[in-house]
Structure 1
Amino acid sequence: MSREELAARQAKLLENLLTGAAAPPGFDPERLRVEAGVLRGKRRRLVAYLRPDLPQALGPRFRSLFDAYAAEHPKTTEVRAHEYAAGFAAWLVSRGELPKPRRRRFRR
């Protein structure tokens, strides 16, 4: 197998794990589904670490809301963790799950 073929197979595998795309040939779809769930849990924990205000404000709804967000907004390799957490927070505000953040006023 050439490097290009291997890179293409790896890209398809990563696409499946991040977006739920069809499993590449030769991979067990059920095992990939389980691994994708593990990676989603890791992203959920990372978002909770970066934005502890979100799980605190949402309580037990944090998990289900994050999973809904992750299904609608699959993680890509171009999006950094802080951006993903900010996107989740903005999504929560847009759905009315969180109030709009107040603007800070700076005093001179």
Structure 2
Amino acid sequence: MTDLAAPEEEDLAAARRRLAAAQGRVVRALVAAGEVPDGFDPARLRAQAASLLAKRRSVVARLRPDAAEAAGPDLAAEFAAYARAREEPPPGYRADADDFAAWLRERGRLPDPPRRRAPWWRRLLS
């Protein structure tokens, strides 16, 4: 009976690999401007990708208002350029917000953060 199970397990593993590859193509189309996979409506996929980008931008603007303010009226265009420059979003909104701020800083759109002063009690220990 184990001889019959081996081909079925191989078929299942192959099907899982194909599914994972197909899901990867859909995700790339949604978040990294990848090609639209066969069988998907390109207009609907572009609309969903734009919606996901707007959601990310909105959350990033709430988490890092300094970055949103630095981008000003160009926020949508700047965030879209930032998103296109990445293969996939970072794992989590906070990381996305910090990466966007760093991206703006590299382009001279956001000043360096102020240096943190040592706590007052550290000065007493010197």
TM-score scaled to structure 2, two decimals? 0.73
* Counterpart for residue 50 of structure 2: 37
Deviation at 1:11, TM superposition (A): 2.6
TM-score scaled to structure 1, two decimals? 0.84
Asked whether 1:94 is paired with 2:106, we answer yes
Find 1:12's aligned residue among 22, 25, 34: 25
For residue 10 of structure 1, what is the amino acid of its counterpart? Q
Deviation at 1:74, TM superposition (A): 4.2
Asked whether 1:55 is paired with 2:68, we answer yes
Query: In 2, are the aligned partners of 1:75 and 1:84 still within 8 Å (CA)?
Result: no
Query: In 1, are the aligned partners of 2:32 and 2:87 still within 8 Å (CA)?
Result: yes
Gaps of 5+ in 2: 1-11
Cα offsets for 1:54-84 (capped at 9, x unmatched): 22333212222111111112434x6211111
Distance in 2 of aligned mates of 1:74 and 1:92: 18
Gaps of 5+ in 1: none
* Counterpart for residue 21 of structure 1: 34
Query: In 2, are the aligned partners of 1:55 and 1:62 still within 8 Å (CA)?
Result: yes
Find 1:66's aligned residue among 79, 98, 107: 79
Distance in 2 of aligned mates of 1:88 and 1:105: 25
Distance in 2 of aligned mates of 1:98 and 1:10: 36
Cα root mean square deviation, aligned: 1.8
Number of residue pairs matched by the alignment? 106
Distance in 2 of aligned mates of 1:19 and 1:61: 20
Query: In 1, are the aligned partners of 2:28 and 2:88 still within 8 Å (CA)?
Result: no
